[in-house]
């Protein structure tokens, strides 16, 4: 959380996958899944803006239950930050940590594992991390940790942006895997995931967020392949009811209702976002908070007046859901329905 505009939605997706596939999905806690951090760095504001403070508190209660680390095949330790500053820490010690806290204790093993970073190849020992939490450790400290925990082959962690999304440290005994491409929307870095085989060999898969130039692709074409997603279902419903929505919004602008059809279509085709959301609820018959789905459904972020979340042209928006090779024209009057051209 704290590093994008849709942390709530991402958490909901991940938690849903965990509920559906509990034996296959494993989630670790990160350094921002702590109340003392996400209360200052954006997540609290997001929760309050979209829902309320109670929702924010419940998220942190869930975060406090997440494991600090995951052990894969008794050989690979997966953790967000790194290894602790303290000597002699074993997996048994980590397993017995009381992790059910809204925020980790200062200078604790738990805090170190959420915040620590590897140093350069020449670093010896461990030093205080400039982040203010955790440590920066050298290869000798990592070797001591692996020696104290026989059977561990290497450690996989995240916590640091990498230009290619991935980096090996200390002759492959530590891997950084950073999956957020274009981090905070400005860094233009690749994201990466690794596919780990039973013999502990791994493949690195890199990817990048949709480039800005690709966002001009027709919205309905870009999302229609996602047949099983909520987005695809909503887009399908909107496409099916596109003409009814045209009538509804014209009724809002010019008076009357789309059922009475007692209006004439004129040049003004501008509506407010609350009117847009009400039309979707009434025409589609779905009690959904559509205002939170504007970007998902292709509503322009800037209105015709140049203001963020200002009024926009509903005809232009609905044209995105028109069938292929179809243009949307409004009749000069009487009925206000769309005319299709093949």
Kindly tell me the sign of the dihedral angle through the C-alpha atoms of 134, 135, 139, 141.
negative
Compute the distance between CA of residue 111 and CA of residue 130 in angstroms, rounded to an integer. 14
| Tokens at 335, concatenated | 């009925």
Residues known to be catalytic: 32
What is the Cα–Cα distance from 186 to 143, expressed in whole angstroms?
A: 36
Query: Cα separation of 133 and 113, whole Å?
Result: 10
Tokens of 12: 């909901």
Report how far residue 75's alpha carbon sits from residue 53's, in angstroms, rounded to the nearest whole number. 41
In angstroms, the CA 10 to CA 36 distance is 20
């Amino acid at each position: 959380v704290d590093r994008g505009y849709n942390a709530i939605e991402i958490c909901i997706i991940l938690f849903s996958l965990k509920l559906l596939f509990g034996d296959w999905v494993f989630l670790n806690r990160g350094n921002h899944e702590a109340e003392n951090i996400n209360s200052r760095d954006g997540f609290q504001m997001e929760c309050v803006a979209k829902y309320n403070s109670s929702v924010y508190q419940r998220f942190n209660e869930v975060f406090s239950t997440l494991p600090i680390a995951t052990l894969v095949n008794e050989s690979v330790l997966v953790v967000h930050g790194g290894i602790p500053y303290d000597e002699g820490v074993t997996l048994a010690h980590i397993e017995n940590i009381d992790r059910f806290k809204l925020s980790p204790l200062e200078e604790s093993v738990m805090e170190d594992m959420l915040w620590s970073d590897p140093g350069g190849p020449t670093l010896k020992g461990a030093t205080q991390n400039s982040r203010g939490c955790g440590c920066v450790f050298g290869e000798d400290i990592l070797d001591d940790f692996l020696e104290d925990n026989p059977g561990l082959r290497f450690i996989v962690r995240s916590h640091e942006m990498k230009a290619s999304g991935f980096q090996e440290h200390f002759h492959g005994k530590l891997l950084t895997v950073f999956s957020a491409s274009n981090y905070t929307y400005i860094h233009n870095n690749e994201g990466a995931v690794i596919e780990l085989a039973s013999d502990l060999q791994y493949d690195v898969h890199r990817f990048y967020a949709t480039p800005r130039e690709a966002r001009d692709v027709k919205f309905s074409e870009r999302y229609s392949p996602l047949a099983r997603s909520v987005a695809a279902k909503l887009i399908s419903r909107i496409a099916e009811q596109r003409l009814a929505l045209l009538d509804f919004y014209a009724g809002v602008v010019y008076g009357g209702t789309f059922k009475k059809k007692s209006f004439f279509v004129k040049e003004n085709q501008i509506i407010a976002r609350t009117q847009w959301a009400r039309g979707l609820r009434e025409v589609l018959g779905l009690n959904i908070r559509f205002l939170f789905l504007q970007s998902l459904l292709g509503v322009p972020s800037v209105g015709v007046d140049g203001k963020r979340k200002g009024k926009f042209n509903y005809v232009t928006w609905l044209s995105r859901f028109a069938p292929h090779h179809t243009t949307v024209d409004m009749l000069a009057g009487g009925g206000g329905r769309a005319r299709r051209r093949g």
